[in-house]
Amino acid sequence: MNRFDANSTTDQVIDGISLQGQLAVVTGASSGLGVETCRVLAAAGATVLMVARDEEKLESVAQELRRQQPDAQLHTQIMDLADLNSVRIAATEILLHHGQIQLLINNAGVMACPLQYTAQGFEMQFGTNHLGHFLFTGLLSDALIDGAPGRVVNLSSAGHRFARFNFDDPSYQNRPYDKWQAYGESKTANILFTVGLDLRTRERGVRAFAVHPGVIMTNLSRHMEEADLIALNERNPSGEPLVFKSLEQGAATTVWAASSPHLAGRGGIYLENCQIAPAAVQGKGIGVESYAVNPAAAERLWSLSEELVGQSFEF
């Protein structure tokens, strides 16, 4: 029986689990949840490849983790998810040195930013949170399959309840921009991607999970002002004030998804509070919306994503 919940910490969920001999690739590794995730996976014996866009910041964090854990096996890789050319270069460099990957943690993201566009012209939240990770995962898929059994963990959010994915205008070319709606659409895309990926890789030994970490004040919320917190509270389906988690609690579901024996044989599902999430119920603050795990929508998003990144992936 799974004994963990919203208050569980990373150290608690990894207790007794060894990741010795496994390679974990973690995006967004220079701050917040990414740093905590790298710390815990390395402490459990994994070799951790820390990926982020700011080289100076990433190296500083890696040095600090090495100071805390002298035996930690940590490597770094620069990549900007908002530039697909950077994603391709990073994936190529990773594959030069690593033929097998057991864990891919797609942790990086942006939230509620002003209207901006990626290098290839996609709305920033859609382009960074989904498309960059879609391409990165696809490019690393052979190494994941060669390293199986393995897992891919995609950071989503309860914010997926803000909006279904808009297939007609994902980059806000023909409609007014709403930063929270755009965030919700990108988080719905993260779950749909998980469903589509798991369908393609589960027979090859790689399972995919989408994770809601909870509400944590990290660098992800750098664009937020007091009015945004009020708006976020108003959008909370339960109507109750937001409950904030510590970093150790926030990264716990990610670590649980990456390592728990409880999830063996499972995949294509949404996790929250170190549990498999139930279906969302109106007026409640937990669960996953049916539109986010709809297989037909997942296939439609997969096709659209391949078209937008200009590359198809065979499994």
Q: Which two tokens stand for residue 198?
A: 């798991």
* Residue 183 among the catalytic residues: yes
CB atoms near residue 308 (< 10 Å): 20
In this structure, what is the dihedral angle of CA atoms 260, 209, 217, 42, given to the nearest 10 degrees?
A: 50
| Chain centroid, CA 193 distance in Å | 11
Count CB neighbours of 278 within 10 A: 12
Which one is catalytic: 117, 172, 177, 183? 183
Q: Which tokens belong to 100? A: 């097998």
Instruction: Tell me the DSSP string of the chain.
Output: -----TT--HHHHHTT---TT-EEEEESTTSHHHHHHHHHHHHTT-EEEEEES-HHHHHHHHHHHHHH-TT-EEEEEE--TT-HHHHHHHHHHHHHH-S--SEEEE-----SPPS-B-TTS-BHHIIIIIIIHHHHHHHTHHHHHHT-SEEEEEE--GGGGG----SS-TT-SSS---HHHHHHHHHHHHHHHHHHHHHHHGGGTEEEEEEE--B--SGGGTT--HHHHHHHHHH-TT-SPP-B--HHHHTHHHHHHHH-GGGTT--SEEEETTEE--B--TT-S-SB-GGGS-HHHHHHHHHHHHHHHT-----
Active site residues: 183
